[in-house]
Amino acid sequence: MTMRHLAPALAAVAGVVLAAQEPAPAPQQPSEVAVVISGDPGTPPRYAVPDFIPLTPDGGEIAKTVGQVLWDDLAFEREFYLIPRDTYATIPVARSPDQVPFAAWRELGADAVVFGTVARRGSEVRVEVRLFNIRTRQSVFSKEYTGTANNPRLYAHTVADEIHQQQRALRGVARTKIAFSSDRNRERMVGTVENRDVKEIYIADYDGANVRRITTNRQLNLTPVWSPDARAIAYTSYRRGYPDLFVALIYQGVQEEPTRGGTQNWLPMFSPDGTRMVFTSSRDGNPELYITNRDGSGLRRLTNHPAIDTSPTWSPTGTQIAFTSDRAGTPQIYIVGADGLNLRRLTTTESYADRPTWSPAPFNEIAFAARTGPGYDIKVYELATGATRQITFGEGSNESPTYAPNGRHLAFTSTRTGRAQIFTIGRDGRGLRQITRDGSNHTPAWSN
């Protein structure tokens, strides 16, 4: 099996930029020995990821990129201790698996080492990877990938996810994407509001690399969310002069309009099975929550209160919806059944709580933005216990959390560096990373 082309083929269709599908590289041979590498008692295994070896003269840059990105991807989940790469200088370079200097790696304290090679011929690349148990000198993971040279990072992302799955039974997120709204093109709106910045929808790798623009309509495009199959993005756009919902099928060149205009609709969210959407609408004169089928049929009103009900998020089972309402006087987080029954308030001690996001299984929690002085911080409400924990602490204003598909991380918007940027952080509040730097960037959404 070979990997199909990774290069994006961009085309403008109805104001949407379409990226060619990026399938993961297909492995050409199975793992050799399914053995889990352990570290010393009570400590994570220590991994070394030296540069991959170029087997052809024009494979050097790709080899370097794959090695560095793989190190970063493995470090992200914090399942392994990644030995700093600048300590490898004294280790002899192995150009084939039988030359791996196991004794030298053992002296460095490594429990595992990744050995990889890259061969490039024109636009085609072959990447071979082995993971060695240093103590036993066994190869416990052995794969070969072939495809194009256009996106070498994808090879590293694929290897990282497969190592995490094999060694930790963990679904990694290296191949996932983050969508967000940004003014990085610094355009101005067309039409009557000339002094307002344009915001378009973009997607990037989970670490902020490979940024690609999705919309091109030179209007305000906000609050993107992914469909469960990660093939569509729903978002709010002001292209009609008022907020309405659009769905970009980013690999097909098709744009859907489930609400079909005429009323103000915003903040869409796909159901876990992708067949329905919940959103906010003022079609009956007051911002309420509505549920519709994916194609816009079967519209029904979910909430009915004089206050504002907005910012919906589905439970992983699709049976409940958390949302923000100011029916108690200030915005707070509530839960209601998808049938409109069993309404209850979650946040009772916050002065202001907004933008809930429900974690995927196995975690059972809702992250939200809470006012903590002049700005906001990210907090997490544990549904099983009713306890709330705070994971950001007053550096800038921190808002719009979104969970990674494995539930172990959150992306959010923060002004801690000045302009609004996207950051990721572990659900335990550790491992903060900034992933955007150009322009102002808002409302991230993490794909499956």
Query: For the segment 84-118, what is each residue's pLDDT rounded down to a tens digit?
Result: 999 998 899 999 999 999 999 999 999 999 999 99
The dihedrals phi and psi of 103, each to the nearest 5 degrees, come to -65, -40
pLDDT of 134 higher than 70? yes
**Per-residue confidence (pLDDT) for residue 185, from 0 to 100:** 85
**Per-residue confidence (pLDDT) for residue 16, from 0 to 100:** 43
pLDDT of 135 higher than 80? yes
Q: Specify whether 187 is located in the same domain as 301.
A: yes
Domain range for residue 393? 177-446
**Per-residue confidence (pLDDT) for residue 192, from 0 to 100:** 52
**Per-residue confidence (pLDDT) for residue 304, from 0 to 100:** 95
Q: Specify whether 189 is located in the same domain as 156.
A: no
Which among 153, 115, 101, 111 is positioned nearest to 134, based on CA atoms? 111
Q: Specify whether 123 is located in the same domain as 213.
A: no
Q: What is the CATH number of the domain that holds 350?
A: 2.120.10.30
Average model confidence (pLDDT) for the chain?
91
Q: Has residue 2 been placed in a domain?
A: no
**Model confidence at 191, in pLDDT bands (50, 70, 90)?**
low
**Per-residue confidence (pLDDT) for residue 262, from 0 to 100:** 87
pLDDT of 264 higher than 50? yes
User: In the chain, what percentage of residues exceed pLDDT 70?
Assistant: 90
**Residue 126, strand partner residues:** 119, 146
Query: For the segment 104-113, what is each residue's pLDDT rounded down to a tens digit?
Result: 999 999 999 9
Q: Specify whether 252 is located in the same domain as 353.
A: yes
Q: Specify whether 138 is located in the same domain as 262.
A: no
Q: Specify whether 279 is located in the same domain as 307.
A: yes
Query: For the segment 196-242, what is each residue's pLDDT rounded down to a tens digit?
Result: 679 999 999 999 999 999 999 999 999 999 999 999 999 999 999 99
What gap in Å lies between CA 133 and CA 144, rounded to an integer?
Answer: 19
pLDDT of 6 higher than 50? no
What gap in Å lies between CA 425 and CA 401, rounded to an integer?
Answer: 10
In the listed set 168, 203, 227, which residue is the last one of a domain according to the structure?
A: 168
What gap in Å lies between CA 148 and CA 2, rounded to an integer?
Answer: 10
Check: CB of residue 278 under 8 Å from CB of residue 291: yes
**Per-residue confidence (pLDDT) for residue 261, from 0 to 100:** 85
Query: For the segment 289-328, what is each residue's pLDDT rounded down to a tens digit?
Result: 999 999 999 999 999 999 999 999 999 999 999 999 999 9
Q: Specify whether 309 is located in the same domain as 164.
A: no
> What's this model's pTM, rounded to 2 decimal places?
0.90
- Structurally, how many domains does the chain consist of? 2
pLDDT of 193 higher than 70? no
Using the 8-state DSSP alphabet, how is residue 19 labeled?
P
pLDDT of 3 higher than 60? no
